Amino acid sequence: MKKKTLGFYLRIYFKILAQDLKSKMSYRADFIISTIGMIFTNIAGFVSFWILFRNFPSINGWNYYEILFLYGFSLVSLTPVQCLFDNNWSLRMYVFSGDFIKYCFRPINMFFYFQSEVFDIKGLGQFAFGLGTLIYSWVKLGLGFSPLMILKLCVFLLTASLIMVALQNAAAATCFWIQNSFYILDFVTKFKDYAKYPVTIFSAFFRFIFTFIMPIAFIAYYPSLVILRPDNVPVLSWLSPLFGLVFFFLSYKFWMYGATKYSGTGS
């Protein structure tokens, strides 16, 4: 069989994406209401953040605009998991209804085909809100713009995204063995809210948990230090791109392992 190329998968992806967007736009009222809901959810989160931190000049050495930078950084880095991997939330239903079997007989990668079926366009609103917050805090901090700074920002945003995608992939894939896997996925996803804050504000116990057990510190804190504290970047920040790639690869292999063991309803 001829090996599938990246160009092949890109062509397939955009065809699937076009069909998904057409189906969503056929129910415009639902699309508009859900999009507005996503925007207001982000606004409510920002207002809560503003009320909490605006009254303090600094928290454990982090000023308001640095924490705001982390907030925007986390929102932007979480956009790919929102837009591109939202179908993970439906995986358990496909598995236990038996409908997942259709992915086992298509001549393309199962993981790619399953994830590409859904594009959550509402996540673009989160991206715009996060990017605006990031730019605003960037200007207030006087970080300056240069090609190298922008390259660093893009690389470490991608790094952060891979961490959250990996966590969600692994949590979603537990449905191949655990019937009530929704609670695992929901539990893991809730941790992303802590990614908006510097890990140094937590106790040593939680710093260890958020770095080595549930590595949400790599979603914003460690990657953003390359931009915010360039003169004092810890080793974990420089290693975060490697961690992101490794975690994503391991989560992909775990997801695929479960998928290849799938044998139909009740597996």
- What pLDDT is recorded for position 265? 54
Tokens standing for residue 102: 């259709």
The distance from CA 19 to its chain's CA centroid, rounded to whole angstroms, is: 23
- What pLDDT is recorded for position 84? 92
Tell me the residue type at 146.
S
3-class secondary structure, 179: coil
Q: Is residue 266 pLDDT above 50, yes or no?
A: no
Q: Per residue in 198-229, pLDDT tens?
A: 898 889 999 999 999 899 999 999 999 999 99
Q: Per residue in 225-237, pLDDT tens?
A: 999 998 889 999 9
Return the percentage of the chain with pLDDT > 90, whole number: 49
- What pLDDT is recorded for position 267? 43
Per the prediction, the chain carries an average pLDDT of 87
Prediction pTM value: 0.87
Q: Per residue in 14-24, pLDDT tens?
A: 888 888 777 77
Distance (Å, whole) CA 139 – CA 58: 18
**Contact criterion met (CB below 8 Å) for 163 and 216:** yes
Distance (Å, whole) CA 243 – CA 232: 20
Q: pLDDT tier at 242 (50, 70, 90 boundaries)?
A: very high
**Contact criterion met (CB below 8 Å) for 237 and 225:** yes
- What pLDDT is recorded for position 3? 66
Distance (Å, whole) CA 248 – CA 255: 10
- What pLDDT is recorded for position 163? 94
Q: Per residue in 102-126, pLDDT tens?
A: 888 888 899 999 999 988 887 888 8
Q: Is residue 158 pLDDT above 90, yes or no?
A: yes
Distance (Å, whole) CA 146 – CA 155: 14
Distance (Å, whole) CA 5 – CA 42: 38
- What pLDDT is recorded for position 115? 94
